[in-house]
Amino acid sequence: MKNIAIIMGGYSSEYKISLISGNVVNQYLDKTKYKGFCVHILPEKWVYVDEAENEFPIDKNDFSVTIDGDKIKFDCVFNAIHGTPGEDGLMQAYLELLGIQQTSCDYYQSALTFNKRDLLSVLKPYGIKSALSYYLNKGDKIDTNEIVQKVGLPCFVKPNKAGSSFGISKVKTEAELPLAIEMAYQEDNEIIIESFLDGTEVSVGVINYRGKITVLPITEIVSENDFFDYEAKYLGKSQEITPARISDEMTEKVGTIAKRAYELLKMKGFSRSEFIIVNDEPFMLEMNTVPGMTNESLLPQQALAAGISLEDLFANAIELALK
């Protein structure tokens, strides 16, 4: 019986969704093989929370927990944290230093993919297209005319490395830019402003499944809102259609690009890449390395469409991490 710490929560605005993801992972763990421990990683505390909601502090020196005098160490960590510190490489680096295996990609890949600007810059020389973009660091002079000249209108203002749907605005006029930028700065000290891509939005899960890099069925996203924001993603204000209503040729094309990005970056664990298809050309928006794991989340939906149960999906990630 392996002890599995399921880390959840995190320090971002999306921590509540992460807690739901982590509890779903615990629910579907094969109890004949694994003993799951729900570990809440929060700014004010790191604690194991048992079924009765009793809290036991995590010893950060070796990432262990002591319960009734017994010190418990973990064989593997299942990472279900959205945003920092689980999706930006911090937890991965910490666990690697301690010699503890974990289910997501390594710390460098995690830090790289969490930074939209750096990810898209690294993939660009390999022919993976992205929107026109403009970058700001907190404190930079804001020249709205220069921004509009570069990316046009409408455009999207996003936190560059916040790992969530918060702080994103669709801007239709130059006058709206300062407020949108200020809102994005509330989530991050770096901003990416991208040209509007008018096309079909799709999400592509890529995983290592039983030792083979596998592209899952593609999901088409149709948002009731102006774009796939927090409400659309988590509060039912969108249609998520799996498989996507795109041609077999486009399915192959997008899947090949998502798989190539996974391989180029030497990824491990889960990835979910977002694209917008414009005039038969896929443009990459981002890659998530700790995607949502709730029953309604995109990657679990895609796995089920591929005939992979959640129990199998989670066990596969743990077994690959333990190899």
Q: How confident is the model at residue 232 (pLDDT cuts 50, 70, 90)?
A: very low
In the predicted model, what is the mean pLDDT of residues 90-112? 98
What is the pLDDT, as a whole number, of residue 182?
A: 97
End-to-end CA gap in the chain: 16
**pLDDT of 133-189, one tens digit each?**
999 999 999 999 999 999 999 999 999 997 667 899 999 999 999 999 999 999 999
Residue with tokens 């066990």: 315
| 62 contacts: CB under 8 Å, gap ≥ 6 | 73, 98
Q: Residue 58 gets which letter from DSSP? A: E
**pLDDT of 188-226, one tens digit each?**
999 999 999 999 999 999 999 999 999 999 999 997 766
**pLDDT of 241-272, one tens digit each?**
999 999 999 999 999 999 999 999 999 999 99
What is the pLDDT, as a whole number, of residue 296?
A: 87
Report the alpha-carbon distance of residue 318 to residue 131 in Å, rounded. 35
